[in-house]
Structure formats: structure tokens, C-alpha cells
Amino acid sequence: MDQHILSRIDRAVADNLKDIERSFGEQAGLVQDFIMFISRQLKTDLFGYTRFTVQQFCEHTGRNRQDLALVHPDFSSGRKQPPEIQGYAFQTVLDYALYAMMERNIIFSRSYEVKGHNSVVHMTHFPILKDLKLNFNRKDKQQKIYDIRLSDELISGFLSRYYIIDSESYKLVGKGRGGDSRKKLLIYLSKISHVLHSTSTATETTIPLDRICRFADINDIKPSHKKQNLQRMLTHLKCIGRFPIHFEFVSYRGSSEYALRLAFLSGPDRMKVQKEHTFYYRLLNGMRDVFNLCGTGPATPSIEEDPFQNWLINRGLNTAEKARVLQQAYYIAFSINLPDSVATDLVLSGDFLKPLI
């Protein structure tokens, strides 16, 4: 079971974890988990509509169902009134966190620079969800099913601005006491690994102890305690999280202060990453082109909030054109020739990416 599941986490998120804390308070851990969860789902639900149950969420993030099902203390103590959508109160821990992600943005403390094709965009905030529904009128023995729509920012981040991170490690590392800090450390290290592997052939780097402690929530005064804590966390990542890293403490600039030398034993498979990148990029942009050409369809009301996404998931519209885009993406990225009938079936079934799994 030493499977590595490579996901992509948006750089705007990974670079600003502290801002999630600032914007979401004690819900920050859940928000971060949700983004990781959704990044994993995005590999198969590319177009931003995702449907999931509490069980699935727990399975993939390693959280406990019981903790998420509890009515949030703010509401059970009567201090606040839970928000409602269509008369349904979003009052459990998970419900409320999802609601918060729709209602609130991540506010960046400093504007975050994103380099586009020929411009630099400054992001000051980052929305996560655009829409949130669930099967409000449940009958007997029916599970809660969450229906969500992701923000455009999250989807474009998935395509063009991401770090590779192993979501299986993320899940394993999050279990047990101190999990939230370990997860943050894992994101930070994955980011370093990603940058290192994609810009050079080096696999080693040295980081001052204080900087890494900031990311790992280690606030001890005594250097020896910092070292002890960090050592424990890194060992945990290595042994329990199966994160392929080698570390050693070294003295820093001749002073008595510590630094950490890190060696990443294996980076993400570069070929595979590159192929996937091409595939997703081709697919989504190809679909956009087709949509712009002929997508508005017969008598589609223009008041629709998100015509592109609606067009995409609408099975009756432009099936042949969609199938062609899919074929091209498979061919260019993986050299796979999808027969016409298979491509059409995939488009009709909605499982565009099934052959990848």
C-alpha cells in the first residue's frame, strides 16, 4: 500500500497558509484539508462541479466523521444563529466550514503576484467556492450529498499555478495529535521539493531553523526544544507519512544557530507531471475554444451565471466537438488514440478522464 497519489495544490494557497489562518480562524485546518481534498478530486472532476459525501471527505483527508458531524459550538451554546440556505441550517462543523468557504475569501496580507502570459496580476483575495448545495429534502436512510462549484481561481490554479504534493502523505501525516502543524510542514517541504526539482538537478538545500519552524508552528524559545520538536515532526513525516526526505542538522554560518540540510530522495516523476500538464491544459482550453465558437447553444438564456460550465456538463450540446477535443488532448499528451466511439461515450457519460485512472 505504498501508493503515492500526486495532487496539485494551488500556489496562491500554498504560499499563503498563514492567511488562511487569519481569514478562517479555527476553521483553517478544515479549509486547508478541503482544498487538498478538492485538488485530488479535480483530477477527475475537472470542470469544477464536485459531489461528495462526508464519508468520502473523511476517507481522503483522514479526519473523523464524529468531529465533523458535531453541531458547531458557536451554535450549540446559542451564541450565534447558524446560517441557512433554502431553510436548511448549516450548523455542523463541516457544514459551517463549507458555508464559510462560500461566503468568505482568503484575504492575502500582501498582494500576491501571479505571472500570466504577458502580464502580472496582483491577487488580494482568493475565493474557494462559488456555490454550495446539498440534497436538502432527504428521505429515510439517505446520505447527505454535498454539491459544490469551485471558484474560477481554484480551477485556473489547478491548470497553471501549482505545486505537486502527495495527498496520501498528507492524509497519513494529519492523523493524531499535532496533525495540523505537520500538514503545514509537509506542504512547505513539498513546495521546496517541487521548486528544487523543476529548476535544477539539485536535490539538496539548506534552510535556517527559524524559517522552517515558522511554517511548522514551532514557537519554543529554547533552540534545543525547537530542534527536538522539529526532529520529531520530520521523523513522523518520513516514517508515518512516507515522505522521501533525508535531513540533518548543521550549524549555520559558523554561529551556534542551527540550520537544516534537506535532501529529497525522489522528486515527482517529471515526465508524468509534464504529460499531465499538457493534457489538462489542452483539454480545458480546447473546450473553451469550442464553446466560444458555437457554445451558446439553442435558446440558452444568457442570464445564466456560468454559461461555460453549464455548457460543459450539458450532455446534449456539441457532443461531437467535445469528443474531438478529448481525442486531441489524449493524443498530444499521452500518444493515445481514442476511437471515436469511446470518446463519444466518455463525453456522454461525463467521465472524461476515466482512462487515466
Partner DNA sequence: AGAAGTTAGCGAGACTGTTG
Partner DNA sequence: CAACAGTCTCGCTAACTTCT
Binding site for DNA (CB under 7 A): 53-55, 62-67, 69-71, 76, 92, 95, 138-144, 174-180, 220, 222-225, 227-229, 232, 236, 256
Nearest CB to DNA, comparing residues 157 and 179: 179
Least Cβ distance, residue 52 to DNA (angstroms): 11
For 348, the 3-state DSSP assignment is helix
Nearest CB to DNA, comparing residues 224 and 302: 224
Q: What are phi and psi of 26, to 5 degrees?
A: -75, -5
Nearest CB to DNA, comparing residues 108 and 215: 215
Residue 298 CB burial class (10 angstroms; 0-12, 13-18, ≥19): exposed
Q: Which amino acid is at 89?
A: A
Nearest CB to DNA, comparing residues 69 and 159: 69
- The count of C-alpha atoms lying within 13 angstroms of the C-alpha of 52, restricted to the half-sphere facing its C-beta, is 25
Least Cβ distance, residue 11 to DNA (angstroms): 27
C-alpha cell at 35: 482544498
* Residues 6+ away with beta carbon under 8 Å from 133: 85, 146, 147, 148
Least Cβ distance, residue 144 to DNA (angstroms): 4
C-alpha cell at 100: 464559510
- Calpha distance 352→323 (Å, rounded): 9
Nearest CB to DNA, comparing residues 101 and 338: 101
- CB count within 10 Å of CB 96 equals 21
Q: Which amino acid is at 57?
A: F
Least Cβ distance, residue 282 to DNA (angstroms): 38
Nearest CB to DNA, comparing residues 65 and 122: 65
Strand order in the sheet with 258-264: 204-208, 258-264, 245-251
Least Cβ distance, residue 137 to DNA (angstroms): 7
Nearest CB to DNA, comparing residues 31 and 54: 54
Least Cβ distance, residue 239 to DNA (angstroms): 10
| Degrees, nearest 5: CA angle 116-120-125 | 95
- Evaluated on CA atoms 106, 107, 109, 114, the torsion sign reads positive
Nearest CB to DNA, comparing residues 110 and 222: 222
| Degrees, nearest 5: CA angle 196-8-218 | 65
* Residues 6+ away with beta carbon under 8 Å from 188: 14, 17, 212, 215, 216
Q: Are strands 129-134 and 120-126 parallel, antiparallel or unpaired?
A: unpaired
Least Cβ distance, residue 183 to DNA (angstroms): 11
Least Cβ distance, residue 251 to DNA (angstroms): 9
- Calpha distance 214→219 (Å, rounded): 7
Least Cβ distance, residue 5 to DNA (angstroms): 20
**Selection from 248, 265, 254, 313 nearest residue 287 by Cα:** 313
Nearest CB to DNA, comparing residues 245 and 343: 245
